[in-house]
Structure 1
Amino acid sequence: MTRIDFYTNVADPQAFACRLAQTVYKKRERLFVWLANEAAVDAFSTRLWCLGDTVFVPHCRAGAGEAPETPIWLSSRLPDGELPEVLLNLGPSCPEPPDRFSRILEIVGRDEPSLAVARERFRRYRELGFFIEHHDMSHLSS
C-alpha cells in the first residue's frame, strides 16, 4: 500500500524539496518530481544543479531520452505508463490514482495557502484509506 509522508512547518519548501530529492537519490530510490508548470520544472532543475560544488543529484525531464537511466524525473504533468516508485508532489493536486506510487512525499510550508492545500490533500488521502506519516520540521531553520 502507498505510504504518504507529510513534512510540515517547512521554512523554505523549495530548498527542503531539493534536500529531500537528494536523500531519495542517496537511498538509491527512483523519484518523480511533479511540479505545477514548466517554469517550476526549470527552476527546480536549476536548484538541483546549484545544491553545492560537490553535490550531484542526477535528474532530467520525464520523457527525455536519458530518463530510463536517470534516477530523478521532473515534469509538470503525470504521464501514463511506468513511473519511478516515489513521488515528490510539488504539483497542483493529489495524483490520481495515488497508488501508482509506493510512496508520496508532500511538503507543507508555514504560510496559510500551503496549510490550506495540505489540509485538502490530507483529507483526500485519508478518504482513500492511505496511511499518512507526519514529520514536523519546525526544528529546522530552512
Structure 2
Amino acid sequence: MAVAEFHHDAPDKLRHACALVAQWHAAGRRVWIHCDNDALAARLDQMLWVFEPLAFIPHVRDGHPLSDATPVRIGRDPASAPADAVLLNMSHDVPAGFEQRAHIVEIVSQDPADRDPARTRFVRYRQGGFDMQTRKAEA
C-alpha cells in the first residue's frame, strides 16, 4: 500500500528536509524533492551541499546530464521522478500523478499558513487510498 508520511511542527522545514534526505541517502534510497519554484529548488540545492560538513549527499537539479545516475534529484515535474524514489513534496499542492507514488513525505512547519494547505493535501492522499502516517519533526 502507498504511504503518505507527514512530519508536523517542523521548526525549520528546509533543515528537516535535508536531515530526511541524508537519512534516506545513507539507507540507499533514491529521492525526488518536488519544488514548485526555482528559488526553493536553489535553496535546497545549496543547503544539501553544506548540510553535513563531513558527508556528501550526491544531488542534482532535474535536467542535469547526470540526473539519471544521481540518487537525489530536485525538480518541478514529478513525472520525471524515478518510480522507486521517495517523493519529498516541498510544494503547497499535491504533486501531479501522486497516485502513482509508493511513498510521499510532507513536512509541515509550525506556521498556520503552512498547516492549512497541508490539511488539504492530507485529505487528498487519504481519499487516494494512501496509508497515512504522522510524526513530530525532530529538526
Q: CA RMSD in A?
A: 1.6
Matched residue, 1:66: 66
Q: Once superposed, which parts of structure 1, at least 4 consecutive aligned residues long, lie more than 4 Å away?
A: 80-84
CA contact (8 A) 1:2 1:98 kept: no
Q: Does 1:18 align with 2:32?
A: no
TM-score normalised by structure 2 residue count:
0.92
The Cα of 1:96 is off from its aligned counterpart by 2.7
Q: How many pairs were matched up? A: 139
Map 1:87-106 to 2 at 5 A: 87-106=87-106
Secondary structure, counterpart of 1:14 in structure 2: helix
The runs of 5 or more residues in structure 1 that have no matched partner are: none
- Contact 1:3-1:103 at 8 Å conserved across structures: yes
Query: How far 1:81 moved relative to its partner?
Result: 7.1
| Cα distance in structure 2, aligned partners of 1:51 and 1:130 | 31
Shift in Å at residue 126 of structure 1? 1.2
Q: Percent identity?
A: 27
1:57 CA drift (Å): 0.6
Quick one: which amino acid aligns to residue 29 of structure 2? E
Query: 2 CA distance for matches of 1:92 and 1:84?
Result: 23
1:61-105 Cα deviation digits (max 9, x unpaired): 122211111000101232357445210000231123223222001
Letter aligned with residue 90 of structure 1? M
Q: Which runs of 5+ in 2 are unaligned?
A: none
Structure 1 equivalent of residue 135 of structure 2 = 135
The verdict on how the C-alpha distance between 1:70 and 1:117 changes in structure 2, with shifts beyond 3 A counting, is same
